[in-house]
């Protein structure tokens, strides 16, 4: 009997079987369960999403490794779908980055991406980002790769150099990160399909992640367009979170202004739909059996 794949192994398998692999943001364990049920092969935990949803903070490097790990564990305890995690800049120097990678593997993550912004980072689609030197980014990647306790754990190097220094500089960084051992490249805030093709050509067919986030610098390209221009992964980091936020705000406003939820109840997930995703009735039947057994004693 073959050994069971690790989380990293499941990620690599999904990547091999899906061209491109769509990776959807799941802000919590329940969203992860829904994404898994409808058929998604890989899921994502955004660092900005953790800051926003779990701590009510902006995406400005204000959360810690332990803050993110808490949400990682919640998700990986709920589903086996491979989870890609945003580890920002790694939360420190080489020792911190190494600890981050080891803790992510122990927490059940399948993959991470680490970026080349300075520690006081910004959202990748905001202006005035600052990036570290090429040498420092290479050292970050080496620290992450050397710390792996699972050879299949997938490490993606994210570069924000495109907006800062242009296409050629960003491709140069990507090449250096791959030479340092990265398994793939995350090209942030890319503008055109031609730019993705240039990245692909520059990294000689290595795995390329396209970040298709709403209201940012990158148009909402279709997955096939991206695949045709070299992307092997397409990330939708906060799509469901944004939709859920808009829906929640609508409910809050109707409750305040109308005094009831009648106008919005048709837009809600029903109790039975909630229970279905949670396998609620399986738990309830076990509980009923235990009570029945107790009564018969």
Q: Is 177 a catalytic residue?
A: no
Please indicate if the annotation marks 294 as binding a ligand.
no
Q: How far apart are CA 109 and CA 85, in angstroms?
A: 7
| Active-site choice (71, 123, 160, 173) | 123
Instruction: Please confirm, yes or no, whether 44 is among the known catalytic residues.
Output: yes
Contact 185, 170 (CB under 8 A): no
Mark whether 207 is an active-site residue: no
Residue of 10, 12, 40, 113 with catalytic role: 113
Decide if 115 is catalytic. Answer: yes
Whether residue 148 is annotated as binding a ligand: the answer is no
From 103, 116, 183, 188, active-site residue: 188
**Which residue among the candidates 10, 31, 40, 86 is catalytic per the annotation?**
86
Residue 123 known to bind ligand: yes
Q: Report how far residue 24's alpha carbon sits from residue 244's, in angstroms, rounded to the nearest whole number.
A: 14
- Residue 122, annotated as binding a ligand: no
Q: What angle do CA 41, 42, 45 make, to 5 degrees?
A: 155
Q: Is 108 assigned a ligand-binding role in the annotation?
A: no
75 annotated as ligand-binding? no
201 classed as catalytic: no
Q: Is 228 among the residues known to form the active site?
A: no
**Catalytic (active site) residue 214:** no
DSSP string for 270-290: PHHHHHHHHTHHHHHHHHHHH
The answer to whether 124 is annotated as binding is yes
Active site residue 37: no
E strand spans, the chain: 21-25, 43-45, 83-86, 111-115, 154-159, 184-187, 207-211, 233-236
**Spatial separation of the C-alpha atoms in residues 296 and 4, rounded to whole Å:** 41
Place of tokens 């803050």: 67
Q: Binding-site residues for Mg(2+), please?
A: 86, 88
Catalytically active residues, by annotation: 44, 59, 86, 88, 113, 115, 123, 158, 188, 211
Binding residues for substrate: 46-48, 123-124, 158, 188, 211-213, 242, 271
């Amino acid at each position: 009997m073959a050994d069971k794949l690790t989380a990293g192994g499941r990620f690599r398998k999904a990547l091999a079987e899906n061209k491109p692999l769509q990776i959807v943001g799941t802000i919590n364990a329940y969203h992860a369960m829904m994404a898994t049920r409808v058929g998604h092969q890989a899921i994502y935990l955004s660092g900005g999403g953790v800051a926003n949803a779990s701590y009510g903070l902006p995406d400005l490097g204000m959360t810690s490794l332990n803050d993110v790990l808490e949400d990682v564990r919640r998700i990986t305890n709920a589903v086996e779908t491979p989870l890609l995690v945003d580890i920002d800049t790694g939360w420190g120097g080489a020792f911190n980055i190494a600890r981050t990678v080891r803790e992510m593997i122990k927490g059940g993550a399948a993959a991470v991406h680490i970026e080349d912004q300075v520690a006081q980072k910004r959202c990748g689609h905001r202006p005035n980002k600052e990036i570290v030197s090429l040498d420092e980014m290479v050292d970050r990647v080496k620290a992450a790769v050397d710390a792996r306790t699972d050879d299949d754990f997938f490490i993606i190097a994210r570069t924000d150099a495109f907006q800062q220094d242009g296409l050629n500089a960003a491709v140069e960084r990507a090449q250096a990160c791959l030479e340092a051992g990265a398994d793939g490249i995350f090209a942030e805030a890319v503008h055109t399909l031609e730019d993705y093709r240039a990245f692909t050509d520059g990294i000689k067919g290595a795995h390329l992640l396209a970040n298709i986030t709403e209201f940012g610098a990158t148009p909402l390209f279709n997955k096939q367009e991206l695949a045709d221009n070299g992307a092997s992964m397409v990330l939708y980091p906060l799509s469901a979170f944004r939709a859920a936020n808009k829906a929640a705000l609508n409910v809050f406003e109707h409750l305040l202004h109308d005094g009831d939820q009648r106008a919005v109840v048709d837009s809600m997930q029903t109790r039975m739909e909630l229970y279905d995703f949670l396998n609620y009735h399986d738990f309830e039947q076990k509980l009923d059996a235990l009570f029945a057994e107790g009564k018969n004693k």
